[in-house]
Amino acid sequence: MNELVFGAWRQLDVLKAVMYREALVRFGRRSLGLLEEIGSIAVHIVVFSLMRLYAGVEVQHGLPVLPFVCVGIYNFWLFRTGISQIPTALSAGSYRAFSQVTPLDVALARGAVNMLLYIGLAVVTFWLLQLFGYSGPVGNWTEVILILVANGIFGIGCGLVLAGPFHYLPFLRTVVMIGAMRILSLIDGTFFLYPDLPPNLRPYAIWIPNLHLNDMAREAYFPSYQENWTSLTYVTGWIGGSLLLGLMVERALRNAIEAKKVPA
């Protein structure tokens, strides 16, 4: 039992050390560091808010445009950046000198840094919107944060799954990040609600787990909004399935990469 506890603490220490290094490397690669991360989020919030205003939808279902869009953007961003950051962690060579650090450790560390960063920014953003009168009080902070965490974990799981295809077919990364993610941002409820969709599209949209998470988040954020179509079981199945499949891909990919390093 003592050995199990010691091993768990040691693994936690390794993870914290890798998280610290990953945070330094992440912000060090950008000329403006954290400000550049904040700027990217701000630009997307402005663009999607203007899209709603241009469509003549400033307030819908009693939900003001800025907090409405911010909830959608942060949920999408946690998922998107997970898919962007995680696959490269599995083939990163910067930790090869440290035998106790596995590719999965690096992937989890990157995912944790990603979640801490954007959930922290989301909480600050929501607080500022309330402070300056752009938003009413958040209905349920706990649920809002848990849904943000769920999106982050979903991004980690899907990032692990895509690590295999990205490794063997590098061009797919460009296709997914530039093509598929942009399409997803338009259909996952980032700037609309499920009831806003035409009735003929709803049977297809209901299969998008990110749309479920966005409507759950808005119900938690806005006390006046009630939804009755989402499925926690369905979303949990997607997240759990992506993690399970992702761990299998990570194990297979690690073995394949290590086999290439061994001289014939």
Long-range contacts, stretch 110-114, CB < 8 angstroms, 24+ apart = 110/22, 110/26, 110/85, 110/86, 111/82, 111/85, 111/86, 111/152, 111/153, 111/155, 111/156, 111/159, 112/15, 112/19, 113/19, 113/22, 113/23, 113/26, 114/78, 114/81, 114/82, 114/85, 114/152, 114/155
Lowest mean pLDDT among 15-19, 95-99, 103-107: 95-99
18 pLDDT tier (thresholds 50, 70, 90): confident
Average pLDDT over residues 253-259: 77
User: pLDDT tens for residues 46-68?
Assistant: 988 888 777 766 666 778 889 99
- Among candidate residues 148, 163, 151, the one with its CA nearest the CA of residue 209: 151
Q: According to the model, what pLDDT value does residue 263 have? A: 47
Most confident of 29-38, 73-82, 84-93, 181-190: 73-82
38 pLDDT tier (thresholds 50, 70, 90): confident
Q: According to the model, what pLDDT value does residue 59 have? A: 62
Q: According to the model, what pLDDT value does residue 60 have? A: 67
- For residue 99, pLDDT beyond 70: no
Parse the chain into domains and list their residue ranges: 2-261
User: pLDDT tens for residues 111-142?
Assistant: 999 999 999 999 999 999 999 999 999 999 99
Q: According to the model, what pLDDT value does residue 88 have? A: 87
Q: Which residue has better confidence, 146 or 189?
A: 146
Lowest mean pLDDT among 44-58, 140-154, 169-183, 192-206: 44-58
